[in-house]
Homo-oligomer: A and B are copies of this chain.
C-alpha cells in the first residue's frame, strides 16, 4: 500500500488541539497543513507554538480551512454545539473528519454529521484516543478469549476529575450553549465507551441513571452515573464527575477472567501501559490467600495513543484518497452507539430515573 502524507487542517485553537497537533507530526503519515481561528493572531501564535511547518497556512476563519484545496482532513476540536455546522460543511467540501467527542449534542446531530460524511464519501472518526493504544488491542484479545475470560458478566467504569472553581464557572464544558452535555459528554463519554468496548459494542437493552446527579445552576450535568443492562444478564455501571479526584477505572469481570486498569483513558506513562488480568482466580487452602493471583501485563507504545489514532485515521483516508476505498464504517458506528447510550442516560435523568430502552 502506498504511503501518502495526509494534510490536516485544524479548526480552532482549543487546548486539546495542541496535543493532537503534536500527534499529527508524530504519526509520520500526516502533517499540519492549515490552522484557522476566528482570531488570526491566535492562529499565528498556535502555529508558532505547535511546530507547524513553515509551509502551513494560517487563517483567520474556519471557512478558509475547509475551503483550502490542500487540506485532506479536518480536525474539529470546537465546542460540541458547533460540530454539526462545521463538520457538515467540511464533509461537503470532501474533507475527512477527525472530530472531538462528544460528537454531537444528541444522536440526531450525530446522524446529520455521519450522513454528510457518508454521502460525501469521507472518513469519520471521533477523538477517543485510548481505542488506538496497543494495550487496548491486547485487552480485547483477553476479553475475546473464551478459555481465559469466558463470557462477560459485569463491567464498571469511572472517570472523574476535580475541576477547579474557574473551570466550574467558565469552562465550555459547564456552559449550556457550548458543551451542554457537561461531565456526561466529557468524562462520561469515556465511561460509556469503555463499557461498550467491554461488551464488544453490543448495545444495552436498558439504561437507568443513578439517582443523584449533580447539575449546575444552568442545568448542565456536573456529576452522574448509570446502570446498563443487557438481555443476556450482563450489567454495566459507571460514574463520571467533575467533582472528584482524577480517577479512571475499568473493571470487566467474565465467567473465567477479570480485567482491571486504573488509567484506561490516559495511561500513567506515554510509552508504556499496563493492565491486570486474572484467570480462574481461586483461594488457597482455608481461604488464607489467592492462588493464582492476578498478573500485570505491560505493553510498550513507540508513539503515543493519540499519534496511533492519527495514524489509523490517516491510513483510512489514504486508502480512500489513493486507492478509491470506501470509508471504514467501524468508527462512525462506535460514535453513534456511544451517543445512543449517552442520550439514554440524559433522558433517564430528565424523566426521573426511569429506565430507557435503547433503540438503535
A residues within 8 Å of B by Cβ? 16, 18-19, 22, 150, 153-154, 156, 158, 160-162, 206, 208, 210-212, 214, 223, 225, 227, 229-230, 233-235, 237, 239, 241, 243-247, 249, 251, 253-258, 260, 262-263, 266-270, 276, 278-283, 286-290, 293-294, 304, 353, 355
A246: nearest chain-B partner, CB-CB: B281
Whether B262 lies near A276 (C-beta < 8 A) is: yes
Contacts of A268 in B (CB 8 A): 289-290, 293
A266-B289 contact given A158-B156, A160-B253, A251-B249, CB 8 Å threshold: yes
Closest chain B residue to A224, Cβ basis: B235
B229 touches A210 (CB 8 A): yes
Q: Is the CB of B256 within 8 A of A162?
A: yes
Residues of B within 8 A of A235 (CB): 210, 212, 225, 239
A283: B residues at CB distance < 8 A: 246, 266
Q: How many copies does the complex hold?
A: 2
A247 to chain B, nearest CB (A): 5
Whether B276 contacts A288 by the Cβ 8 Å rule is: no
Q: Is the CB of A263 within 8 A of B290?
A: yes
- Asked whether A153 and B158 contact (CB < 8 A) given A208-B211, A245-B257, the answer is no
Please give, as numbers and ranges, the residues of chain B lying within 8 Å of A237 by CB-CB distance.
Answer: 156, 210, 225, 227, 237, 239
Distance between Cα atoms of A264 and B247 in the complex (Å): 19
Q: How far is the CA of A207 from the CA of B118 in the complex (A)?
A: 45
Minimum distance in angstroms from A167 CB to a CB of chain B: 13
With both beta carbons as reference points, the residue of chain B lying nearest to A286 in the complex is identified as: B19
Q: Is the CB of B154 within 8 A of A245?
A: no
On chain B, the residues within 8 Å of A210 by CB distance are: 227, 229, 235, 237
